[in-house]
Amino acid sequence: MRHLIDLVKYGGEDNGGSSGSSGDDGQGGVLVKPGDAHRRPGHPEFASAQVMPLESADWLLKSASRIEATFTEPQEATDWYMAQLARHAETFTGRYAPLAAPDAIARRLAARADIVGGWWATGGRFLSVNLIACSPHRERREYVCPAR
């Protein structure tokens, strides 16, 4: 039996919105900076915000127009993800941890885990490349894949 997975890539270059991020409060909770409210689903600007949501599953609540590609096979999604990074690598600024090997990414996708990446790029831009597993999402089972 073959299991099909809907993997949805969202993102793009962001210019604006909050530059803050969530962080650990030292007690296992997550801090949300005041400027990050629009990154939560309950905020009126959430649907149109051009920045990543604070929780990866919340991409599934964004407009389907934000979808750049869909995949049913983990290796196909991995190849596309790696191609996106290669395409933009020259623009990355700063230092980042090494990427996981493609076979490790494919294994995570096969286990229905999300792949979330973000890199600062030249000109103050931010590249967000995310593969979000759905049908249903493994942590937010009530979230469905957006219509494509």
Measured CA to CA, the distance from residue 81 to residue 91 in angstroms comes to 16
Q: What is the pLDDT of residues 58-105, one digit of tens each?
A: 988 888 888 888 898 999 999 999 999 999 999 999 888 888 999 999
Measured CA to CA, the distance from residue 118 to residue 85 in angstroms comes to 10
Q: Which of 17-21, 22-26, 27-31, 39-43 has the highest mean pLDDT?
A: 39-43
Map tokens 């990414």 to a residue. Answer: 105
pLDDT > 90: percent of the chain: 30
